[in-house]
Amino acid sequence: MKFYRTLHPRPVAIIGSGDTNKEINFMACSWITPIAEDISALGFACDKGHYTYELIQKYKQFSVNIVEDLDLIWKVGTSSGKEINKAETFNIKFKSGKALSVPLIEGALANLECKVIKDVEIGEVMFYIGEVKHWKAQNFDEYGYKEFWKVPLHKSGKAFAFPSKKLRFLK
Amino acid sequence: MKFYRTLHPRPVAIIGSGDTNKEINFMACSWITPIAEDISALGFACDKGHYTYELIQKYKQFSVNIVEDLDLIWKVGTSSGKEINKAETFNIKFKSGKALSVPLIEGALANLECKVIKDVEIGEVMFYIGEVKHWKAQNFDEYGYKEFWKVPLHKSGKAFAFPSKKLRFLK
């Protein structure tokens, strides 16, 4: 049994990497978390065997894209950018960021542009901590997504959940 | 608007800190993620103003507890261990870990005992990376929690969601 499943279901993102003028890649990731607010920082775990790792080592930047499209998440999560050009193969529509030349997936619930400020090696993983240089989200207010039930949550393997529509408010 | 809400709703845990033979504390945290599998590692963000920070600096260990009790999460998340003894005040039943002398909340969905292997300072936060030395979970199998819809997800402020019971399985 896997200890990390105790922290699932959890949101899944698509990480964009590279430079839109040169080479790019996308991967799926649910091992991601906000880290700080005074410095707008978040972090995610990247296997050092991934093409995304090579691109982030090279360009020191990445994007975080929250998308509703589970099929796209699955496709980018089960293929390697070392073997195929995922953007072309899966017909991913993207544009370059405003602050950084990272690829942002169009039509996403949210896109965040991050510059690597620290990388921490833990076994086979590089945990990248990025400062958010620019971000935008659709249908979003001070409480977060108005339609928060659209945020995909990875349970395990091929199984995904979504947040319940019903909230519980504490007193 | 807050960039970090793009990564919510997300699982919320109660972090236990200190040493059960000396002094302990509990805090709520949803800025937590698995990090690696070859080294069983996870990380969470701890404000350096918190009592938990003082205890982890001192004892270099912490526990992660996944509980269904939103009221308890709220109470430990909105009070300070510098002012009150939370375990006594909120009548938290806990025991010491098997591998480490960290406090584990009884009856939790999961308890993980972690030894700090790295700490990373990002602005006001210390991001603690812990190696899981022992863990257990109730009603849990290779796919995770059998009743995964009981894992509380923090949306924002006093609003919590839960994962939908219905899953979507990809092909």
**How far away is chain A from the Cα of B165, in angstroms, using its nearest Cα?**
7
Q: Is the confidence at residue B73, as pLDDT, over 90?
A: yes
**Measured distance CA(A106)–CA(A109) in Å, rounded:** 9
Number of A–B residue contacts, CB under 8 Å: 249
SS (H, E, C) A84-101: CCHHHHCCCCEEECCCCC
**How far away is chain A from the Cα of B146, in angstroms, using its nearest Cα?**
11
**What residues make up the domain containing A113?**
10-161
The pLDDT value given to residue B171: 79
What's the ipTM?
A: 0.98
**Measured distance CA(A53)–CA(A122) in Å, rounded:** 14
Q: Could you count the other beta carbons within 10 Å of the beta carbon of residue B146?
A: 12
Residue B2 lies in a domain: no
**Measured distance CA(B100)–CA(B62) in Å, rounded:** 9
Q: Is the confidence at residue B56, as pLDDT, over 90?
A: yes
The pLDDT value given to residue B11: 98
- B108 interfaces chain A, CB cutoff of 8 Å: no
Chain position carrying tokens 């990376």: B129
Low-confidence ranges of chain A (pLDDT < 50): none
Where is B55: in which H helix or E strand?
A: helix B51-59
What confidence tens digit (pLDDT) does each residue in B81-132 have? Answer: 999 999 999 999 999 999 999 999 999 999 999 999 999 999 999 999 999 9
> What percentage of chain B exceeds 90 in pLDDT?
99
Q: Residues A141, A43, A7, B25: is their CA dihedral positive or negative?
A: negative
- A151 interfaces chain B, CB cutoff of 8 Å: yes
The pLDDT value given to residue B25: 98
Percent of residues in chain B assigned helix, strand, coil, to nearest 5: 15, 45, 35
The first and second tokens of residue B35, run together, are 């990090």
- Structurally, how many domains does chain A consist of? 1
Tell me the CATH number at B58. 2.30.110.10
Residue B169 lies in a domain: no
Task: List all residues of chain A from 16 to 55 with a beta carbon under 8 Å from chain B.
Answer: 31-45
Q: What is the largest CA-CA distance in chain B?
A: 52
Q: What is residue B142's DSSP assignment?
A: T
Task: Note the Cα B85 to chain centre separation in Å.
Answer: 18
**Residue A71: which of A28, A18, A15, A17 has the closest Cα?**
A28
> What percentage of chain B exceeds 70 in pLDDT?
100
| Burial per residue of A15-48, b for 16 or more beta-carbon CB atoms within 10 angstroms, e otherwise | bbbbbbeeebbbbbbbbbbbbbbeebbbbbbbbe
Residue B46 lies in a domain: yes
Which of A32, A127, A155 is closest, CB to CB, to B7?
Answer: A32
Residues of chain A in contact with residue B45, where contact means CB-CB under 8 angstroms, are 33-36
Residue B171 lies in a domain: no
Nearest CA in chain A to B144: A5
Residue B5 lies in a domain: no
- B3 interfaces chain A, CB cutoff of 8 Å: yes
pTM to 2 decimal places: 0.98
The first and second tokens of residue A163, run together, are 């947040």
Query: Average pLDDT, stretch B136-141?
Result: 98
- A116 interfaces chain B, CB cutoff of 8 Å: no
Residue B113 lies in a domain: yes
Residues of chain B in contact with residue A121, where contact means CB-CB under 8 angstroms, are none
**How far away is chain B from the Cα of A15, in angstroms, using its nearest Cα?**
13
Q: Are B60 and B115 a contacting pair, CB within 8 Å?
A: yes
The pLDDT value given to residue A35: 98
Residue B37 lies in a domain: yes
Asked if B168's CB is within 8 angstroms of A161's CB, the reply is yes
Asked if B117's CB is within 8 angstroms of A144's CB, the reply is no
**Measured distance CA(A64)–CA(B41) in Å, rounded:** 22
Q: Residue B149, CB half-sphere, CA atoms under 13 Å: how many? A: 9
Query: Average pLDDT, stretch B25-29?
Result: 98
**How far away is chain B from the Cα of A99, in angstroms, using its nearest Cα?**
15
Q: Rounded to 5 degrees, what are φ and ψ at B83?
A: -105, -35
Report the mean per-residue pLDDT for chain B: 98
Sequence-separated (6 or more) residues with CB below 8 Å from residue A66:
A11, A13, A14, A108, A109, A110, A137, A151, B6, B7
Sequence-separated (6 or more) residues with CB below 8 Å from residue B103:
B16, B17, B18, B20, B24, B26, B63, B87, B94, B95, B96, B97
Residue A167 lies in a domain: no
